[in-house]
């Protein structure tokens, strides 16, 4: 029998001052509904009664789960694929600008099918890619002829080894949250940079779609970060957020999925307008974006 995790304390700051915020449905696989709680201290939201790490893998087994299958099935996934090349280039340029180097050593945690690992390898970076799902690793081998290692290798890597460590929409999936952040700090070189991209439930598109907001993605997303909760988590480990960068395409992608979840099919015009509204609200305040990239140092 699988075990489930019910939090009595906030998994980021540890306070017991938590409340129920809303309930969200797993639209991707199970159809189950999960409660989402909120910390009154650091403003983290987190999914209650999620399967433990050893039993959550069935919730990732869907041909529609794009990060593991590279699927182009369905309108939303086709649109996602069409802009991915551009976003991969943007990420590569961001890494070089933030680290101040054109090539170096990079660790990508949660590589999916390896598209970002391949992008950085093509730019002559020395890249280690870690991915927990064996099927996704196999797709990466087929598509790019790259060998992704199991994510369990994270704790066997040498300390102070990487100029850059990236987690693109991964930290929200990690059961061992505090252990991961501590290990990532250990693996960074003294002047290295950590890049963490996560959805932001304080965005306008989250407010529009509420429990239908696709980036809640329960139970795969264990945590739902606000900029404040991310800052508290980093400070707890002696890390500093240097910059906040927007992921402006995410508001459109998430709005299209959310529209489908709410209405049974995607309303392209309405979802595009809501994505635009979200980005407009974030002008001058990146912390309001649908997804935020946090650039972090020791």
User: Which CATH number do you get for residue 20?
Assistant: 3.40.50.150
- Please give the pLDDT value at position 84: 77
Read off φ and ψ for residue 283, nearest 5 degrees.
Answer: -65, 125
Tens of pLDDT along the chain (298 residues) come to 468 999 999 999 999 999 999 999 999 999 999 999 999 999 999 999 999 999 999 998 876 554 444 444 555 555 555 677 889 999 999 999 999 999 999 999 999 999 999 999 999 999 999 999 998 999 999 999 999 999 999 999 999 999 999 999 999 999 999 999 999 999 999 999 999 999 999 999 999 999 999 999 999 999 999 999 999 999 999 999 999 999 999 999 999 999 999 999 999 999 999 999 999 999 999 999 999 999 999 9
Nearest to 185 by CA among 108, 125, 133, 239: 239
β-strands 240-246, 291-297: how paired?
antiparallel
For the chain, the domain total comes to 1
Task: List Cα–Cα distances, 9 to 19, 57, 122, in angstroms.
Answer: 10, 25, 44
Q: How far is residue 273's CA from residue 270's CA, in Å, rounded to a whole number? A: 5
Q: How far is residue 111's CA from residue 131's CA, in Å, rounded to a whole number? A: 5
- Please give the pLDDT value at position 72: 47
Task: List Cα–Cα distances, 8 to 184, 203, 232, 240, in angstroms.
Answer: 26, 26, 19, 28
- Please give the pLDDT value at position 225: 98
Rounded CA Rg of the chain? 18
HSE on the CB side for 104, CA within 13 Å? 23
Structure token digits, residue 5: 């995790």
- Please give the pLDDT value at position 67: 47
The H or E element containing residue 143 is helix 134-144
Structure token digits, residue 111: 């590589």
Nearest to 174 by CA among 50, 14, 3, 32: 50
- Please give the pLDDT value at position 61: 82
Residue 78: is the preceding peptide bond cis (ω within 30°)? no
Q: Please identify which residue in the block is written with the tokens 């061992």.
A: 176
Q: Which domain holds residue 217?
A: 4-297
């Amino acid at each position: 029998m699988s075990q489930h995790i019910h939090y009595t304390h906030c998994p980021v700051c540890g306070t017991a001052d938590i409340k129920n915020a809303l309930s969200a449905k797993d639209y991707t696989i199970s159809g189950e509904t999960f409660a989402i709680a909120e910390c009154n201290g650091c403003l983290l939201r987190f999914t209650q009664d999620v399967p433990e790490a050893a039993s959550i893998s069935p919730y990732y087994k869907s041909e529609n789960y794009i990060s593991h299958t590279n699927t182009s099935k369905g309108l939303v996934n086709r649109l996602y694929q069409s802009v991915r090349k551009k976003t991969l280039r943007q990420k590569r340029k961001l890494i070089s600008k933030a680290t101040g180097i054109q090539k170096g050593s990079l660790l990508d945690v949660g590589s999916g099918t390896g598209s970002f690992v391949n992008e950085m390898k093509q730019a002559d970076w020395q890249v280690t890619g870690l991915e927990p799902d064996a099927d996704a690793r196999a797709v990466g081998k087929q598509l790019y002829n790259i060998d992704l290692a199991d994510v369990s290798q994270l704790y066997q890597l040498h300390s102070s080894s990487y100029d850059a460590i990236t987690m693109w929409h991964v930290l929200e999936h990690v059961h061992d949250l505090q252990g991961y952040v501590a290990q990532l700090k250990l693996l960074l070189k003294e002047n290295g940079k950590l890049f963490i991209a996560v959805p932001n439930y304080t965005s306008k598109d989250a407010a529009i779609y509420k429990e239908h907001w696709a980036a809640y993605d329960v139970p795969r997303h264990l945590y739902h970060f606000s900029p404040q909760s991310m800052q508290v988590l980093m400070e707890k480990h002696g890390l500093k957020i240097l910059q906040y960068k927007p992921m402006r395409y995410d508001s459109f992608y998430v709005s299209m999925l959310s529209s489908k979840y709410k209405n049974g099919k995607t309303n392209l015009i309405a979802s595009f307008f809501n994505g635009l509204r979200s980005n407009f609200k974030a002008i001058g305040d990146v912390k309001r974006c649908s997804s935020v990239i946090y650039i972090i140092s020791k």
